[in-house]
Amino acid sequence: MPIRCLLVDDEPPALEIIESYVEMVDGLEVVGKCYNAIQAFGILQSTAVDLLFLDIKMPKLLGTDFVRSLRQPPKIIFTTAYVDYALEGYELDIVDYLLKPIPFERFLRAVAKVMKTELPALRTSQPDMGRVSVVEKQPELAPTNSFLYFRVDRKMVKVFIHDILYVESLKDYVKIITTSARPLVVKQSISSLEEMLPESNFLRIHRSFIVAIDKIAAYTPSYVDIAGQELPIGRLYHKEVGRILKVGME
């Protein structure tokens, strides 16, 4: 039996992303989707739901308050753009807490926590086979069609993971440099974005820079060269960068 999923988010683009992710994974099935907690409550009264993907900051009723109102809630994965709710979410005994924009790899890690309990026989398949099965280990590299959405100028802009060259911190913002478009400036911390990027593909080299490992054209003990830009290697990151790039940095 597939795990029956209800998707709740007041932003249609975010809802579409989660729906597309669910449809890519064997063992998951969308049984409903809605735009607020009141609608979700009605669906739960009439439909069997095993897993709830729930936004937190919604009109009429917060997702956290909605969970408290349920006598026997299904398993819950919060999806939100606000890190401030993380502690409160875990106090409600949720499965996981996904910070938007949500990369597919991070989504897989979250649903694996449910599937290990519900479907222990599932195995991991290759990422290019359309739908994937999930358990303990994820693919070493992000699928080539993986993408993130970033809010830029009041719209959600799709960025493919494989197009990202590097990310630069600008205090409360980050600048995302890609191969296929002008730089994107997004209101987000570099640390939160680091969590969203697959660690097998990206490397933090400095408190202000994250780079795509496969886009590094050259490197020295003090900098990496990407697309003609020399990006500094910070002292605190020196050892880890040396380990990953296998360069002597003494």
- Tens digits of per-residue pLDDT, 91-101? 778 888 888 88
| pLDDT greater than 60 at residue 40 | yes
pLDDT-derived band at 147, boundaries 50, 70, 90 = confident
Q: What three-state secondary structure class fits 159?
A: strand
Domains and CATH numbers, the chain: 3-118 (3.40.50.2300), 147-245 (2.40.50.1020)
Which tokens sit at 79? 């999806």
Mean pLDDT of 169-179: 92
167 strand-pairing partners: 176, 210
Say whether pLDDT at 115 is over 70: yes
pLDDT digits (tens, 9 = 90+) for 188-223: 888 888 888 888 899 999 999 999 999 999 999 899
The token duo for 218 is 């050259």
CA distance 114 to 60: 29
On the question of pLDDT at 172 being above 90, the answer is no
Tell me the DSSP string of 2-62.
PEEEEEE-SSHHHHHHHHHHHHTBTTEEEEEEESSHHHHHHHHHHS--SEEEEESS-SSS-
| CA dist., res. 14 & res. 11, Å (int) | 5
